[in-house]
Structure 1
Amino acid sequence: MSSSLSDRLLEIDNQLQRLAEEKESLLNERNSILAQQEVELAKHFNQHVSPEAKVDLFISYFKGRNDVYPFRWESQNGRSGYSPACWNEWKPKVCNKPRISCTECSNQQFKHYDGQAIFDHLKGNQTIGIYPLLENNTTHILAADFDKDDWIHSVKAFSEACDFYKVPHIIERSRSGNGGHVWIFFSQAIETAKARKLGNGLLTKAMEMYPALSFTCFDRLFPNQDVMPEGGFGNLIALPLQLEPRKLGNSVFINSSGIAYKDQWAKLASIQKINSTTLDSLLDEITLIDEKANNDLADTPWKKLSSIDNDVIANCPEEITLVIADQIYIPIDKLPGKLTSRLKQLAVFSNSEFYKRQGLRLSTIGIPRYICAAHVEGTFLILHQRVFIICRSSIN
């Protein structure tokens, strides 16, 4: 190759590098300006602002995929669910449901998640959600879903964990009124794996405050996956403030005691968003229940979680009386919550089937991330006798 051609190639490569750096700089500046605009939008916000302003505020917090969103449907026989909103839905000779799924349909023409979709949701014309996992495996939100009978206690513990780490958040009573969501927002799209680590750490702390918190909660973090599954959009989560359930006091923002805020919009506007620097600092501070497991599971997914702290727990009783029957019953009414949580963690195993399917980017719906051989009933922690042997050796 001649010297002139080589020089020209080098010149092109250098120019491309400069353009890439300029593009990155402009994108960073753009994100900074957008963040400043959102802060300005939130100032002095209240329920009396225009509908357009409410839509703008809503979409600045509840960000998901822009190219598609799920909507809630109800059939005549009482069934209900969510499907991707599509302009071609049920059109004769165009829509192939239910023979072909929406994600595989060649005639798909999904509706975009935009201001009109949100306006119709807030107005009560439709009920929609978002797909929080973006195509590049990033997210703008983290949400924890609690739907057991003790959801209000679980929500309160998670909220207290957020307060402990100074994580801004907002609580929503769900559409049914029988559960709750805790929402955390980010000022820019961040790696989903990092967002989920934050949720993992907050749940671990919440379990110290409320030992009865079920390990199934770790399966109810949204986004539900670190990476986009093959042929799908990731798990959806329904959005708050839809008009019809609001009439019943549901799908609204509440405090940790379950009382709805008088001005829903002012409360939402007051929630600060976490930037990437703050998130990294939080991840350095929090305890992750499966940090070691996450690092090892690619090679040994059958191993029990083993990243339990060995620090000294204060205010432990000098002795406790156990009941040995079909299982081991440990009275916990006088135990520190941290000790009860620690004992529960010793009885938790990673589910190899979950991690195998996740590694293959297959759906993990209905497959628990963890298998827990302990549970709380009343004032007792109940352990399988084999697990108790492990606990006793760990305590010793």
Structure 2
Amino acid sequence: MMEPLPEHIKLFRSLFHGRQDIFATRWELPSKSGYMPAYHYDPYHYRVHKMKGGTFQNYTDKSFLPLTDDQIIKHLNGEHFIGIYPLLQDNTSWFIAADFDEGNWSSAALQFIRKCGEHNLPAYLERSRSGNGGHVWIFFDKPVSAYKSRKLILSLLISSGAVSAFDKNTSFDRLFPNQDQLSGKGFGNLIALPLNGTAAQQGNTCFLDPQTLTAYTDQWQFISQIKRASAETIEKLLANLHGSSTTEPSDGKLNIILANDIRLNRLAISPLLLSFIKEELNFPNSEFIIQQKTGRNTFGLERYSGSSKKITTLSVFPKDLPAS
């Protein structure tokens, strides 16, 4: 990667735009690794706190670091590896990305990209940090409801064959953002930023030519040509695929969607009614694996529950996965 210019930083931040008041950095130990929010704190005061038996978790004299140009430059130069939180505080996002891994990740990702192309939805493939997976990114011209973008992209994943309710070996892992709404307990899931200086030297975290699966020689030139889908396009595609049943989930009200199946939102179902549904309307629930793969809580959903009296399919939507 060439040294980023000011216009590169501006372009990068406009595309990979998540929460600006917080970001995460990757940490690695011999036996494990992960990401944690970046904080500002006084090392001396923290050392005193730790000597008294305290931990970083219960150390209160710390604050989140905002995502600045300097932090982006450090990521692009390989000084650290940043993860951003795509779900904004109003439950919208500037992009959505599908994560693929395992042995046939590239073929599944390309299936999905072709399906997006059939609907004139620009989609771009990036190889992940490990090199053993990839992200397919779709960018918006303004923030779009996570509920709507996730609903649309999941439909395209299923119709492309990249996701199947009956195939437990699918390469699709999750969506970013992985929640329709913030739970109030965290920031939602994070996604690692591309073009990390260290990983890019091995051809990872770079955007790939879908014809050859090789990294574009000039990554800055490539991302300068990335197209953003309009919010109106997302609305139209969603309406074409799902009709008028694209309203946002409501709190406390029982929503019943009638199509080829019957769908109820679990938050509005009493424990007694839920028990009746599970015991008396007991048949295979094809939603289980899809809910699992898209990051939604599967608590209360049976993987298999056969019934010889099956007439239709009833799916109970679980509550949002607690943000981590």
TM-score, normalised with respect to structure 2: 0.73
In 2: Cα distance, 1:242 partner to 1:139 partner? 22
Q: Is 1:204–1:287's contact at 8 Å kept on the other side of the alignment?
A: no
Q: Is 1:88–1:94's contact at 8 Å kept on the other side of the alignment?
A: no
Q: Is 2:116–2:122's contact at 8 Å kept on the other side of the alignment?
A: yes
Tell me, which stretches of 5 or more residues in structure 1 are unaligned? 1-46, 305-345, 359-363, 374-383
**Aligned partner of 2:40 among 83, 87, 109:** 87
Task: State how 1:1-396 maps to structure 2 within 5 Å.
Answer: 51-75=5-29, 77-88=30-41, 91-93=46-48, 99=55, 101=57, 106-207=60-161, 220-256=174-210, 257-286=212-241, 292=257, 295-298=263-266, 299=269, 348-350=286-288, 364=297
Q: Give the corresponding residue for 1:35.
A: none
Number of aligned residues: 282
Aligned-pair CA distance for 1:106: 3.0
Aligned-pair CA distance for 1:255: 2.5
Aligned-pair CA distance for 1:200: 1.0
Q: Is 2:165–2:288's contact at 8 Å kept on the other side of the alignment?
A: no
Q: Give the corresponding residue for 1:7.
A: none
Please state whether the residue corresponding to 1:280 is helix, strand or coil.
Answer: helix
Amino acid at match of 1:297: N
Task: Show CA shifts across 1:2-61 (max 9, x none).
Answer: xxxxxxxxxxxxxxxxxxxxxxxxxxxxxxxxxxxxxxxxxxxxx879521111110010
Task: Show CA shifts across 1:303-362 (max 9, x none).
Answer: 79xxxxxxxxxxxxxxxxxxxxxxxxxxxxxxxxxxxxxxxxx861348x97xx97xxxx
Aligned CA RMSD, in angstroms, stands at: 3.9
In 1: Cα distance, 2:174 partner to 2:308 partner? 28
Q: Is 1:175–1:245's contact at 8 Å kept on the other side of the alignment?
A: yes
In 2: Cα distance, 1:98 partner to 1:157 partner? 50
Give the 3 Å change call, closer, same or farther, for CA 86–110 of structure 1 in structure 2: same
In 2: Cα distance, 1:49 partner to 1:100 partner? 35
Give the 3 Å change call, closer, same or farther, for CA 73–166 of structure 1 in structure 2: same
Q: Is 2:162–2:170's contact at 8 Å kept on the other side of the alignment?
A: no
Structure in which a larger fraction of residues adopt strand: 2
Q: Is 2:100–2:135's contact at 8 Å kept on the other side of the alignment?
A: yes
Amino acid at match of 1:88: Y
In 2: Cα distance, 1:370 partner to 1:218 partner? 21
Q: Is 1:216–1:370's contact at 8 Å kept on the other side of the alignment?
A: no
In 2: Cα distance, 1:370 partner to 1:148 partner? 26
Task: Show CA shifts across 1:113-147 (max 9, x none).
Answer: 12111110000111001000111111111010011
Structure in which a larger fraction of residues adopt helix: 1
Which deviates further from its counterpart, 62-71 or 92-101?
Answer: 92-101
Q: Give the corresponding residue for 2:252.
A: none
In 2: Cα distance, 1:210 partner to 1:350 partner? 11
In 1: Cα distance, 2:120 partner to 2:177 partner? 21
Please state whether the residue corresponding to 1:268 is helix, strand or coil.
Answer: helix
Task: Show CA shifts across 1:94-123 (max 9, x none).
Answer: 68998464xx75323111112111110000
Amino acid at match of 2:22: V
Give the 3 Å change call, closer, same or farther, for CA 248–189 of structure 1 in structure 2: same
Larger relative CO (CA 8 A, sep 6+): 1 or 2?
2
Aligned-pair CA distance for 1:283: 0.6
TM-score, normalised with respect to structure 1: 0.61
Task: Show CA shifts across 1:255-280 (max 9, x none).
Answer: 23422112211221211112221111
